[in-house]
Chains A and B, each alone.
Chain A
Amino acid sequence: MKRALEGGTIVALVAVPWLFPDAYVVHVMVVVFIFSILATGLDLVMGYCGQFSFGQAAFYGIGAYTSALLVRDLGAPFWVTLPASTLVAAAFGALLGIPAVRLAGHFLAVTTIAFQVIVTLVLTQWHGFTGGTAGITGIPSPPPIHALGRTWVSFDSPQGYYHLSLVVALVVVTLARRLTTTRLGQEWLAVREDELLAKTLGINTTKVKLLAFTLGAALAGTAGSLIAHYLRNVHPSEFTIWTSAEIVAMVILGGRGTFLGPILGALVLTTLPEYLRFAKDYKLVLFGLTLIVMTAFLPQGVLGGLRRLRDRTGAA
C-alpha cells in the first residue's frame, strides 16, 4: 500500500509540468525540490543526530559558489561542478564539526550561527574572489541532451530544469533515508536520545556527530550547485542566517527525524508566501506570524502532531 502511494506520488510529480503548464508553478516546484534536499540534509543533523545547526545556508552558499567559481575560473561543466560542490561543502561541514562536536545546547546553536554569519560576510565582502555584493553571474545551465539528431531536454527553462532537480532530489533523499536505517543512523539516534549513555556503550560519539555535520553539509552543497545552475547567478543574499532559519523551520515544522517531515516542511514554507500574496507587501509579516503560531502549537511539527493525534485516538 505504501509502495503504491509512493509510486503514485512520483508519477504525479513527474507529470506536473504537463498538468500545470504555468511556468511559475513549475518554478516554485523546482525551488521546493532544492529546499527538500536542504531540509533533508539538516534533518540528518538536527532530527536524527539531535544537534542544532543554523549553518545549513552557509553550506548551501559554499556549494553554490563552488559551482560558480569553477565555471567562472575553469569553465567546468555541470557534471563536474555538482560533485565538486558536494565535496567542498562536505569538507566545510567537517570543519564546522570540529568545534561543534564539543558543544551542546545554546553554545552549539550560537557557534553554528557564528559560522553562518562568517560565511555570509566572506561571500559579501571578499570582492576580489567572490564578486562581493554583485555576486557571480553568467553561470550556464547544464548542456542540453542531444541524441539521434534531436534535442530531448534543454535545461534553460523551469520546465526543462524541473525533471533534473526532481531526479537529483529523489536520488539524494532516497540515499539519505537509506542512511538513516543503517548502523550509523541508529548511532545518530542514540546520540540524540542520550549522548552520555551512548559513550558508555562504546560508541564514538565524536565521529558519529562529525559524520552528521559532514553529510548534512554535503547535501546542502548539492542543493547549492543545483540553484547556481538554475538561476544562473549566485548572490550572497540567498545564503544568509535568515535562509538558515527558514530551513530549520522547514525541518521543525514538517517534523524532525522523519523522512517526509522535511519535505513537507519545504513544500509548505516555500509555497506559503505564495498563498499570502493577497497581503502583498505585508505577506512576510503574516509569514512571521504563522511561524510563531506553528512553533507554539505544533512543536513536534505537522507529522509529529499527526502522530500524536493517531496515538491519542488509537490508544482510546
Chain B
Amino acid sequence: MSSLDYFLQLAVNGVVTGGVYALVALGLTLIFGVLGIINFAHGEFYMLGAYLGLVLVMRLGAPFFVALPLAMAGMALGGIVAERLVFRRLRRTDPTQSILSAFGLAIALQTAALQIFGPQPAVIRTAFGATPVAFAGVHLTLQRLLIPFLAAALVLLFHLLVRRTWMGLSLRAVAQNPATASLMGIDVNAVAAATFAIGTALAAGAGVLMGSVFLMQPTMGSMVVLKSFTVVILGGMGNVYGAVGAGVLLGITESLTAGFLTNDFKDILAFLVVVLVLLLRPAGLFGQQVERQSL
C-alpha cells in the first residue's frame, strides 16, 4: 500500500472515530453550555446506548436503522430521568458538586451494566458490516463508511432543532440567562430535561455507531467521556460547533499518530494537547477570548 493510500486509510478511519467523538462532545458541551453542569456520567449513556442497540439488533432482530433511533430515544428518556433525580439540584453550582454526583451515577450505571451484560466484549453485527467497500485506495466496510454520514446527519438534525424550533430558542435563552428566561415564561425545568434528552440521545447514537464497528464493553464509556472533555475544551466550552470540529480533528490526529508514530501513546494525545492549549489559550481553539482577570 502506497504512502498516500496509507495516509488516506488512516484519515478515513480517523473521521469515523472523530465523528463519534464529535457526537459525544456535542452532547456534553450542550449540557454544560445550557445548564452549567459537567456531566461526568455522559460516557455511561454512550455505553448504555450501545448496549441498547446490541439488544435491539442481536436479540430482538431489529434492523440497524430502526435500532439506532430507538436506542437514542431510550437514552433520551434515561437522560430526562437523570436530570430530574440527580442533576436538578446542582444547576450552576460549582463544578465539584456536579462532577461528584455524576461520578456516583457513572459508577452505579457502569456496575449495573457489568452485572447485566457481563464483561466480555460484544459487537453489533449488521449486513453492512460484512459488506466491503473500497475507493481511492481506501478499504473499509459499508458500516464503517456509513458512520461519518450518520454522524453528520445527527449534527444537522441537532442544528435544525436548535436554530429553527421554539425549543431550540428556549435552550439558547436559558443558556444566556436562566433567571431572565424564567421571568419571560420559559419553563426552565422543561428546558433542562430537553437539554439532557438531546445530549444523552446524541451520546447513545454515538455508542450505537461505535458498537457496530468496534467491540463494546461496559467500561467503554470512561475513556470516551474523558477524551470528550478535552474535545469540549479544545472546541471552546459551550461552543457546540467547535466541539464537532475539534472531535473530528482529534479522531484524525489520533489515527495518524497511531499509524505513523506509535499505537501505544495515541490515547495520551488528547490530554497532552488540552493541557498545552489551556496553558496558552484557555478559550480553546475556536472559542472566544476569555478575559482571565475577573472582577
Is A9 in contact with chain B by the CB < 8 A criterion? no
A288-315 vs B, Cβ < 8 Å mask (1 yes, 0 no) = 1111100110010000000000000000
Contact pick for A288, options B90, B104, B294, CB 8 Å: B104
Residues of B within 8 A of A287 (CB): 104, 107-108
Q: Judging by beta carbons under 8 Å apart, are A299 and B99 in contact?
A: no
Is B226 in contact with chain A by the CB < 8 A criterion? yes
Q: Judging by beta carbons under 8 Å apart, are B107 and A284 in contact?
A: yes
Q: Judging by beta carbons under 8 Å apart, are A252 and B96 in contact?
A: yes
Residues of A within 8 A of B233 (CB): 107, 110
Shortest beta-carbon distance, A130 to chain B, in Å? Answer: 12
Given contacts A99-B275, A122-B268, A196-B294, contact A248 B38 (CB under 8 A): no
- List the B residue with the shortest CB-CB distance to A256: B96
Residues of A within 8 A of B293 (CB): 196
Contact count A vs B, C-beta below 8 Å: 132
Residues of A within 8 A of B137 (CB): none
Shortest beta-carbon distance, B214 to chain A, in Å? Answer: 19
Given A107-B237, A248-B96, A284-B108: 17 more A-B contacts, CB < 8 Å: A52-B95, A52-B96, A103-B282, A107-B233, A109-B95, A111-B278, A117-B226, A118-B272, A118-B275, A196-B294, A281-B111, A285-B107, A285-B112, A291-B103, A292-B108, A296-B86, A296-B101
Shortest beta-carbon distance, B267 to chain A, in Å? Answer: 5
Contact pick for A292, options B104, B229, B237, B268, CB 8 Å: B104
Residues of A within 8 A of B275 (CB): 99, 111, 114-115, 118
Q: Judging by beta carbons under 8 Å apart, are B278 and A99 in contact?
A: yes
Shortest beta-carbon distance, B116 to chain A, in Å? Answer: 10
Is A33 in contact with chain B by the CB < 8 A criterion? no
- List the A residue with the shortest CB-CB distance to B107: A288
Q: Judging by beta carbons under 8 Å apart, are A245 and B100 in contact?
A: yes
Residues of B within 8 A of A117 (CB): 226, 268, 271
Q: Judging by beta carbons under 8 Å apart, are A107 and B278 in contact?
A: yes
B267-295 vs A, Cβ < 8 Å mask (1 yes, 0 no) = 11001101100110010000000001111
Shortest beta-carbon distance, A129 to chain B, in Å? Answer: 12
Contact pick for A299, options B97, B107, B237, CB 8 Å: B97
Once bound together, how far apart are the Cα atoms of A284 and B264, in whole Å? Answer: 31
- List the B residue with the shortest CB-CB distance to A253: B100
Q: Judging by beta carbons under 8 Å apart, are A241 and B226 in contact?
A: yes
Q: Which 8 A-B pairs have the closest CB atoms?
A: A291-B104, A288-B108, A288-B107, A284-B111, A114-B271, A288-B104, A292-B104, A245-B103
Once bound together, how far apart are the Cα atoms of A291 and B103, in whole Å? Answer: 8
Is B106 in contact with chain A by the CB < 8 A criterion? yes
Q: Judging by beta carbons under 8 Å apart, are A252 and B100 in contact?
A: yes
Once bound together, how far apart are the Cα atoms of A286 and B109, in whole Å? Answer: 10
Q: Judging by beta carbons under 8 Å apart, are B292 and A102 in contact?
A: yes
Q: Judging by beta carbons under 8 Å apart, are A114 and B108 in contact?
A: no
Q: Judging by beta carbons under 8 Å apart, are A125 and B265 in contact?
A: yes
Is B105 in contact with chain A by the CB < 8 A criterion? yes
Q: Judging by beta carbons under 8 Å apart, are A289 and B99 in contact?
A: no
Given contacts A103-B282, A282-B112, A284-B107, contact A109 B38 (CB under 8 A): yes
Residues of A within 8 A of B90 (CB): 295-296
Shortest beta-carbon distance, A107 to chain B, in Å? Answer: 5
Once bound together, how far apart are the Cα atoms of A113 and B32, in whole Å? Answer: 17
Shortest beta-carbon distance, A47 to chain B, in Å? Answer: 11
Is B115 in contact with chain A by the CB < 8 A criterion? yes
Is B89 in contact with chain A by the CB < 8 A criterion? yes
Residues of A within 8 A of B106 (CB): 288
Contact pick for B111, options A105, A126, A249, A285, CB 8 Å: A285
Once bound together, how far apart are the Cα atoms of A98 and B93, in whole Å? Answer: 26
Residues of A within 8 A of B32 (CB): 106
Q: In chain A, residues 21-59, which have Cβ atoms closer than 8 Å to a Cβ of chain B? A: 46, 52, 54
Shortest beta-carbon distance, B77 to chain A, in Å? Answer: 19
Residues of A within 8 A of B40 (CB): 245
Q: Judging by beta carbons under 8 Å apart, are B38 and A296 in contact?
A: no
Q: Judging by beta carbons under 8 Å apart, are B268 and A296 in contact?
A: no
Is A268 in contact with chain B by the CB < 8 A criterion? no
Shortest beta-carbon distance, B142 to chain A, in Å? Answer: 33
Is B230 in contact with chain A by the CB < 8 A criterion? yes
Once bound together, how far apart are the Cα atoms of A296 and B105, in whole Å? Answer: 12
Is A121 in contact with chain B by the CB < 8 A criterion? yes
Given contacts A121-B271, A248-B96, contact A295 B104 (CB under 8 A): yes
Once bound together, how far apart are the Cα atoms of A99 and B237, in whole Å? Answer: 18
Q: Judging by beta carbons under 8 Å apart, are B268 and A249 in contact?
A: no
Residues of B within 8 A of A111 (CB): 274-275, 278
Q: Judging by beta carbons under 8 Å apart, are A291 and B107 in contact?
A: yes
Q: Judging by beta carbons under 8 Å apart, are A289 and B108 in contact?
A: yes
Shortest beta-carbon distance, A195 to chain B, in Å? Answer: 9
Residues of B within 8 A of A248 (CB): 96, 99-100
Contact pick for B268, options A46, A121, A252, CB 8 Å: A121
Once bound together, how far apart are the Cα atoms of A284 and B114, in whole Å? Answer: 11
Q: Judging by beta carbons under 8 Å apart, are A113 and B103 in contact?
A: no
